[in-house]
Structure 1
Amino acid sequence: MADEKTAPLLTPVPDDDGAPFWDYAARGELRIQACAAPGCGELRFPPRPCCPHCQSFDSTWRRMSGKGRIWSYVVPHPPLLPAYAALAPYNAIIVELAEAPRIRLVGNLVTSADAPLDSADPARIRIGARVQAVFTETGGVTVPRWVLERP
Structure 2
Amino acid sequence: MPKAQPQPTPETQPFWDAAARGELRIQRCVTTGEVFFYPRPCSPYAFDGEVEWVTVSGDATLYSYNINHRPARGFEDDAPYAIAVVELAEGPRMMTNIVGIENTPENLILDMPLKVQFQERDGIVVPVFAPAEVAA
**Do Structure 1 and Structure 2 share a fold, with TM-score over 0.5?**
yes
CA distance in 1, matches of 2:75, 2:23: 27
Match in the other structure for 1:28 = 22
- TM-score, with normalisation over the residues of structure 1? 0.80
Segment of structure 1 superposing worse, 121-130 or 13-22: 121-130
Deviation at 1:83, TM superposition (A): 3.7
Q: Percent identity?
A: 36
Match of 2:97 among 108, 112, 118: 108
Match in the other structure for 1:121 = 102
1:42 is the counterpart of 2:34: yes
CA distance in 1, matches of 2:22, 2:53: 14
CA contact (8 A) 1:133 1:147 kept: yes
Segment of structure 1 superposing worse, 65-74 or 50-59: 50-59
Runs of 4+ in 1 over 3 A off after TM superposition: none
1:59 is the counterpart of 2:51: yes
CA distance in 2, matches of 1:63, 1:85: 33
- TM-score, with normalisation over the residues of structure 2? 0.88
**Number of residue pairs matched?**
132
Matches within 5 A, 1:79-90: 79=71, 81-90=72-81
Q: Name the amino acid aligned to 2:8.
A: P
Deviation at 1:82, TM superposition (A): 4.2
Q: Which has the higher strand share?
A: 2
Q: Which runs of 5+ in 2 are unaligned?
A: none
CA contact (8 A) 1:9 1:84 kept: yes
CA distance in 1, matches of 2:56, 2:43: 19
CA distance in 2, matches of 1:82, 1:10: 8
CA contact (8 A) 1:24 1:30 kept: yes
CA distance in 1, matches of 2:119, 2:103: 20
RMSD of aligned Cα (Å): 1.5
Match in the other structure for 1:4 = none
CA contact (8 A) 1:11 1:141 kept: yes
Q: Name the amino acid aligned to 1:47.
A: P
Q: Which runs of 5+ in 1 are unaligned?
A: 1-6, 112-119
Q: 1:50-107, CA deviations, whole angstroms, 9 ceiling, x for partnerless residues?
A: 111112242211111100000001111333x24433321111111100122xx11111
CA contact (8 A) 1:35 1:56 kept: no
CA distance in 2, matches of 1:121, 1:71: 17
Q: Name the amino acid aligned to 2:102.
A: D
